[in-house]
Structure 1
Amino acid sequence: MMIIEEDMVKEVIIKEGRRIDDRGFKDYREIKIEKGIVKNAEGSSLVEIGGTKVIAGVKLEPGDPFPDMPNEGVLVVNAEFVPFSFPEVLPGPPDENAIELARVIDRIIRESKSIELEKLQIPNTKKVWKVAIDVIVLDNDGNMKDAAILASIAALLDARFPSYKIESEEEIKVDYATKTEERLPIQRIPFGVTIAKITGKLMIDPNLIEEEAAEAILTVGGFEENSKLFLCALQKAGNKGFTYDEIVQAIDIGLEIGKSLVKILK
């Protein structure tokens, strides 16, 4: 059945120059973002792109810095899929898809220097704040990367520090039931735009059928600063490749579309 649908996707593009759901090649499906949905997290969000649904939660806790970065906070990203959220996902430990998803999110946040990690030192202690982002894919109808990146950034923007008391250099008591008004030091809002190549055509936000039909897929990570757009990450998937010109075109498309995602997040 999937093979027939893939052939239909390609045939419509070749013969009619359009996508099977009639979107333009640079059009997202409807995007919905809801913040603050997980009450026991310091920040959270639910993002829907079409039929794809992803939830992200942010936990903040005092911890030890990495030995080679003693003056910086710690960022950790984990991702998992709800069993049967799409056909390939079965109950069990995180698979390679979940690991790859977490790496993409981590890379875009880290390489954009979105969070000022050096500001996460806890004064008068040897501790720093650990920022843990947990991403759960609830439903996958394609392009879960963009949804997961949006959900992660929205959750970071939603996060507030819990109340805490410094007992000593090594001990900090945290009252997670009480949130302060202090936000994470976010200096840039990054984005990720995923572009599929099908029959030589480039299109953003591939749905699940389009992903199956794609020869190659590229996720473009970037950020905006002082009204300028910057590239910070690329992640390729799929069995085939892109030409140099296609990569340049995909980056241009990704940065152009990414600007609109930043506006949604703000």
Structure 2
Amino acid sequence: MPQEAHISVNERTFIQDAIKEQVRLDGRAFDAFRALELTFGDEYGVADVQLGKTRVIARISVHVVTPAPERKFDGVFQIITEFSPMASPAFEVGRPTNAEVVLSRILEKAIRRSNALDTESLCIIAGLKCFALRADVHVIDHDGGLIDASCIAVMAALQHFRRPDVVVEGEKATVLSIRERDPIPLSILHQPLCVTFSYFEEGELFLVDANLAEEQVRSGEVIITMNRHGEVCQIAKYGGATVEPYALFNLTTLALQKVKEMSKFIQTRLDDDAKKRNASGLLSELSAENDRPFDKPVG
């Protein structure tokens, strides 16, 4: 089975010694993220996130299905992760790695189980028809920080997505095209985001947004999912080193600061994209007006 290329013993020792001296190899502070970039596709619901050299693309799709009998007033929402073999030698199609299992589990708890999306708003006709929403997460490049980057990608894609409008007449539902009526934004109840802390020296040192080399030498990790209002959605810990309660409290405080910064960043990118779309729409309308022939004067 393919495996990740492990770093050498000398490199491992060098990174650990540097961290003991409060130094990261890329020059970042312990509480600093790598450069974050977020772009959106031409169609609604496609978000491309780059966190350092890590790249994740999330795509939202929707279709109409029959709701589950026990949840007749709810729509369907699921998150699917896909690790591309070109992102890492350890990834192979059809054979999920431990990293993929952990990522799927964290995203499931962070977004779906925390009710970030109002699934009742996806109901069309109770017990008969509803929207089934699917978020596909594609890992393109892997250099650490997959959980944080993937959570940003999914939440940004959900906020960017527009579902088609429907007309209901009795038990008949007609899905309208974009030409017939403007699509509708999703009902997002809150915006949870993940912040991953890697710890070293048996839990004595913590740093934010570890790259792949730092992840390979860490003692463990703590993933904190919060929204910008300070509500904790989940705390997950992996690794054998212990974490003191007071240290965990400090991590939560730092996570809130980072979540507020990322939420503001996402909203800024969403606003920029909306302005571009409105501008292009206005230009199209003006172009159409100019293409129309002028009425000839009567006389």
Q: TM-score range by the shorter chain?
A: 0.7 to 0.9
Q: Counterpart of 1:145?
A: 147
Greater relative contact order (Cα 8 A, min sep 6): structure 1 or 2? Answer: 1
CA contact (8 A) 1:80 1:135 kept: yes
Do structure 1's residue 155 and structure 2's residue 157 form an aligned pair?
Answer: yes
Give unmatched runs, 5+ long, in structure 2.
Answer: 1-6, 268-299
Normalised to the residue count of structure 2, the TM-score between the two structures is 0.79
Does the 8 Å contact 1:196/1:203 carry over to 2? yes
Taking the TM superposition and a 5 Å limit, the aligned residue runs for 1:4-15 are 4-14=10-20
Alignment partner, residue 28 of structure 2: 23
Partner of 1:238: 239
Q: Report the AA paired with residue 107 of structure 1.
A: K
Structure (1 or 2) with the larger CA radius of gyration: 2
Q: Cα–Cα, structure 1 residues 93 and 174, in superposed 2: closer, same or farther, change >3 Å?
A: farther
Taking the aligned partners of 1:179 and 1:138, their CA distance within structure 2 comes to: 35
Q: Give the equivalent residue in structure 1 for 2:189.
A: 187
Q: Determine the structure 2 residue equivalent to 1:85.
A: 87
Deviations along 1:207-248, whole A, 9 cap, x unmatched?
001111110111110112xxx311011222234342333322
- Of the structure 1 ranges 57-66 and 246-255, higher mean CA displacement relative to structure 2 is found in 246-255
Amino acid at match of 2:18: V
Equivalent-residue separation in structure 1 for 2:143 and 2:187 (angstroms): 33
**Deviation at residue 123 of structure 1 after TM alignment:** 4.5
Change (3 A) 1:65 1:96: farther
How far did residue 176 of structure 1 move? 8.0
Deviation of the 1:165 alpha carbon: 5.5
- Contact map agreement 2:73 2:123 (CA 8 A) in 1: yes
Q: Which moved more, 1:236-245 or 1:184-193?
A: 236-245
Partner amino acid for 1:236?
Answer: K
- CA distance 1:150–1:177, shift in 2 (3 Å): farther
2 CA distance for matches of 1:18 and 1:205? 14
More deviation, 90-99/130-139: 90-99
Letter in 2 for 1:223: N
Amino acid at match of 1:5: E
Secondary structure in structure 2 of the residue aligned to 1:68: helix
C-alpha root-mean-square deviation of aligned residues, in Å? 2.4
Quote the Cα distance in structure 2 between the aligned partners of 1:247 and 1:234. Answer: 10
Q: In the TM superposition, what is the alpha-carbon distance from 1:193 to its structure 2 partner?
A: 0.5
SS at match of 2:243: coil
* SS, match of residue 229 in structure 1: coil
Q: Specify which structure has the higher proportion of strand.
A: 1
- Gap change, CA 1:11 and 1:74, over 3 Å in 2: same
Out of 99, 102, 124, the residue aligned to residue 101 of structure 2 is: 99
**Structure 2 Cα separation of the partners of residues 179 and 98 of structure 1:** 39
Displacement of 1:124 after TM fit? 7.1
Partners of 1:125 and 1:170 within 8 A in 2? no
Aligned residue in 1 for 2:280? none
Q: When you count helix as a share of all residues, which structure comes out higher?
A: 2
The percent of aligned pairs where both chains have the same amino acid is 26
